[in-house]
């Protein structure tokens, strides 16, 4: 393998649908690909494309490709309708049983192997201590570092038992941030003692569990490095991760086109800085042209010594060791098997949490008919993450399967004029309104809607939190709040079963929330809309 091909081994590209993977391999040296969640085509078609690319890569460089995915579970998922959807990490933690994380990871790993994916950028091991975190939230197992550590270690064991490389992210911890690193640079302002006692606890656990890789975060942690973000910081990626924590696996950057990095650094220079800081793999440019620019920059830096030879050789060796593990992992099999779907539903049933039901109105009567109105959210514009992962919600359909005649009104936040009119009409005759929320804690439009429903209609209102449980903090006046933690298919079915009495709610909140009793709405609640 010549030097250009060796440099390519340090790059995982972000492909577009405009070019087949095999063609990309022919056009430029590359070590692998991250399949975006919006990848087009069926799982079978993508599996064939991956197999063709792997054949070309072996012929070109003698090394297999990393084929990575962000298949975290919950609403971070792709090939929906084909692969087995699983509840979010926070839902898994709501079961109270850490082995549930291993079971969920095994389900995901089965589908990944069948498609030909060998590296999952999961689990998220951030400790979500900021209720307003716009980018982590239910992707985390919760706000207790010991709980996150236990669940994350089990997840690592599940992925890697099926030959999938696991990846703990986002080092040194993205859970207490109020900015989204896809857009801007977050700062974790805690001192070293706090970082040791909270953020770093799960990373120590997964390293002890033998996690194959760790992903860096695009954030500033001044107690660790006052000048550079973690992705570009030798004190964080080398001195702390390698030296103090003893991690000897593969270190990969988060996606370099994200705003926290791309707004301040040239993509080529950022890649050079990341390798010098201790990253072994750069998650680089989107599309062939940008990939080539990053590759040229790294190649020049290796040739002129800006990337020291020892650092380059060390990174190559780590890549080669990781690829030796995936080379023995055969792909094949079917995605979305009946057995895996049943196991995912069983996990979801253990996660549904009734946070408040005062006065008690659950389970809902099966004879409500069109006096039951369900507002099924498809997405929210409150955060960019919600837009990326918005999809039609089947909440209303699941409930209507159990309460014949129930009215299902699909909505998006904030409501359009026609959606507001439809809700107003339906609310006039409703006895019960079930409204799904999507991180209402950070979206005033959702809070406004729920409050109006509680205060201005005769209906009893049931809030179903389909993302973070933090919504309950902003709705002390909501009488009934149920947490599903995701709008993944099994979570929607499980919450519908709880609402209608088919199943008992068995979940417990995996985050500590000061939960006031229901605050009665004013007199207006007893008037019509």
Provide the annotated active-site residues.
182, 254
How far is it, in rounded angstroms, from Cα 124 to Cα 145?
Answer: 12
Query: Which of 74, 67, 2 lies closest to 35, judged by CA?
Result: 67
**How far from the centroid of its chain's Cα atoms is residue 79's Cα?**
15
How far is it, in rounded angstroms, from Cα 76 to Cα 12?
Answer: 20
- Reduce the DSSP state of residue 13 to 3 states and report it: strand
With left for phi above 0 and alpha for psi between -120 and 50, is residue 62 left, alpha or beta? left
DSSP 169: E
Half-sphere exposure (CA, 13 Å, Cβ side) for 511? 28
For strand 353-357 and strand 480-483, is the pairing parallel, antiparallel, or unpaired?
Answer: antiparallel
Which residues does residue 407 pair with via DSSP β-bridges, in sequence order? 373
DSSP 30: -
| Exposure b/e, 457-474, CB count within 10 A at least 16 = b | bebbbbbbbbbbbbbbbb
Q: Name the phi and psi angles at 509, rounded to 5.
A: -55, 125
Cα dihedral angle (425, 431, 437, 440), rounded to 10 degrees? 90
Cβ atoms < 10 Å from Cβ of 503 = 18
User: Is residue 391 within 8 Å of residue 356, measured between CB atoms?
Assistant: no
Radius of gyration of the chain (CA): 24
What does the block give as tokens for 380?
């929210």
For strand 32-35 and strand 11-14, is the pairing parallel, antiparallel, or unpaired?
Answer: parallel
Element (H, E) at 273: helix 267-277
Q: Which residue has 């699909």 as its token pair?
A: 410
Tell me the CA distances in angstroms from 206 to 65, 365, 407, 439, one per residue in order: 24, 46, 46, 28
- Reduce the DSSP state of residue 325 to 3 states and report it: helix
């Amino acid at each position: 393998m010549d030097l250009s091909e060796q440099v390519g081994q340090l790059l995982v590209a972000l492909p577009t649908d405009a070019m087949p993977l095999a063609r990309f391999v022919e056009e430029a040296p590359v070590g692998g690909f991250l399949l975006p969640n919006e990848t087009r085509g069926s799982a079978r078609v993508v599996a064939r494309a991956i197999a063709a690319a792997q054949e070309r890569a072996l012929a070109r460089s003698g090394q297999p490709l990393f084929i990575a995915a962000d298949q975290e579970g919950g609403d971070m998922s792709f090939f929906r309708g084909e692969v087995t959807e699983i509840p979010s990490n926070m839902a898994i933690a709501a079961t109270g049983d850490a082995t549930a994380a291993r079971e969920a990871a095994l389900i995901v790993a089965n589908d990944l192997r069948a498609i030909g994916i060998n590296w999952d950028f999961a689990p998220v091991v951030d400790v979500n201590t900021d209720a307003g975190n716009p980018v982590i939230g239910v992707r985390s197992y919760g706000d207790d570092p010991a709980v996150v550590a236990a669940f994350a270690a089990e997840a690592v064991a599940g992925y890697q038992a099926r030959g999938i490389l696991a990846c703990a992210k986002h080092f040194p911890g993205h859970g207490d941030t109020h900015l989204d690193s896809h857009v801007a640079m977050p700062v974790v302002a805690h001192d070293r003692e706090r970082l040791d006692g909270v953020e770093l606890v799960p990373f120590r656990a997964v390293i002890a569990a033998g996690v194959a890789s760790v992903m860096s975060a695009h954030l500033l942690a001044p107690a660790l490095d006052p000048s550079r973000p973690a992705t570009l910081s030798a004190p964080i990626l080398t001195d702390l991760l390698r030296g103090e924590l003893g991690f000897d696996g593969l270190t990969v950057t988060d996606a370099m086109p994200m705003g926290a990095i791309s707004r301040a650094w040239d993509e080529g220079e950022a890649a050079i800085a990341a390798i010098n800081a201790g990253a072994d793999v750069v998650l680089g440019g989107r599309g062939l042209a940008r990939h080539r620019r990053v590759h040229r920059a790294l190649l020049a830096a290796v040739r002129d010594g800006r990337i020291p030879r020892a650092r380059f050789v060390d990174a190559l060796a780590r890549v080669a060791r990781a690829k030796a593990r995936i080379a023995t992992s055969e792909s094949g099999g079917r995605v979305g098997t009946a057995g895996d779907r049943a196991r995912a539903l069983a996990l979801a049933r253990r996660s549904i949490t009734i946070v408040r039901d005062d006065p008690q109105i659950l389970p809902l009567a099966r004879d409500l008919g069109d006096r039951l109105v369900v507002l099924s959210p498809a997405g929210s514009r409150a955060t960019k993450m919600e837009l990326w992962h918005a999809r039609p919600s089947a909440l209303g359909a699941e409930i209507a399967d159990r309460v014949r005649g129930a009215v299902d009104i699909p909505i998006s936040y904030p409501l359009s004029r026609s959606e507001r009119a439809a809700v107003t009409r339906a609310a006039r005759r409703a006895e019960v309104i079930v409204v799904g929320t999507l991180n209402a804690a950070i979206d005033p439009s959702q809070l406004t809607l729920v409050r109006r429903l509680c205060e201005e209609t005769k209906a009893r209102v049931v809030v179903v939190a389909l993302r973070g449980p933090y919504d309950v903090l902003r709705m002390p006046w909501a009488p009934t709040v149920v947490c599903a933690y995701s709008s993944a298919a099994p979570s929607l079915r499980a919450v519908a079963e709880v609402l209608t009495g088919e199943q008992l709610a068995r979940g417990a909140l995996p985050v500590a929330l000061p939960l006031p009793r229901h605050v009665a709405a004013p007199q207006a609640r007893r008037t019509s809309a």
